[in-house]
Amino acid sequence: MKFRFQVHILLTGILAVFFATQAKAQSDVEYRAEIGGGAGMTTYYGDFSSGLFSNMQPGGAVLLRVTPNPHMAFRVSGMYTKLSGDATNVKTHYELLKDMHYSFDTSLADLSVTFEYNFWAYGTGKEYRGARRVAPFISIGLGATYASNKNHTWDMANSGNVESSSKNVFTANVPIGFGVKYRIGDRLNLSLDWQMHFSLSDQLDGMKDPYGISSSGMFKNTDCYSTLMLALTYSFSAKCSTCHKE
């Protein structure tokens, strides 16, 4: 009789733990949006770039991500960074810069809206059946770039006289990239992504067509820049707490 009573108590305890766990799982919900910030590196690609990862500059960003479902997201991000380059570090010969030394330093602000597609459902696995904490994704979007350029030209044939000038450029860009997301906790998210921003301007470096040859076309002979960004975001705005449980 005592043994049966002990078994009854044990079974009652197991059932209590089971139902408590189920209740907690049912309380986990999806969230409509994320907000946060990130930091990373930016690389310039143009007439005066000397390598794939040359002249990398630090940058920071704030972002808002709207998640209509675990496979898709729309991200709005604002970023501030710098671009830099030097004509002496490239092998290309520019006739317009004969006997000249040219360098530039650009402050750049970027505002973009991108669509992200997760290759599998992203989440904790509790709020959406089959969701995973780690999900790779691809992205594409449209952005606006404002560049404030300061450049310096040395006349090597005239006692090294230096001429400095500044130029402001506003143009559009098309960001395309890929990355991976990791769900740290129920509301914390970590993401690492790389994007190439194809701009419509050839003057992010302060100089247009140093070849001296006119060109036409949306992305022909234009400057680009890539970003490698690590971001931390916080999920908010809960959806229906009982959806997608069955």
- Per-residue model confidence as pLDDT tens digits over 167-214: 899 999 999 999 999 999 889 999 999 999 999 998 888 777 665 556
Mean pLDDT of the chain: 80
Copy the structure tokens of residue 7. 């078994």
Q: Which helix (H) or strand (E) holds 58?
A: strand 57-69
- What percent of the chain stands above pLDDT 70? 70
Q: How distant, in Å, are the alpha carbons of 73, 93, 124, 136, 150 from that of 189?
A: 13, 47, 10, 13, 37
Q: Is the pLDDT of residue 8 over 70?
A: no
Range with the poorest average pLDDT among 14-23, 49-58, 232-241: 14-23
CB 53 within 8 A of CB 43: yes
d(CA 61, CA 71): 23
Q: Average pLDDT, stretch 212-222?
A: 63
**Residue 21 — pLDDT band, cuts 50, 70, 90?**
very low
Of 109-118, 143-152, 160-169, least confident by mean pLDDT is: 160-169
Confidence of residue 154 (pLDDT cuts 50, 70, 90): low
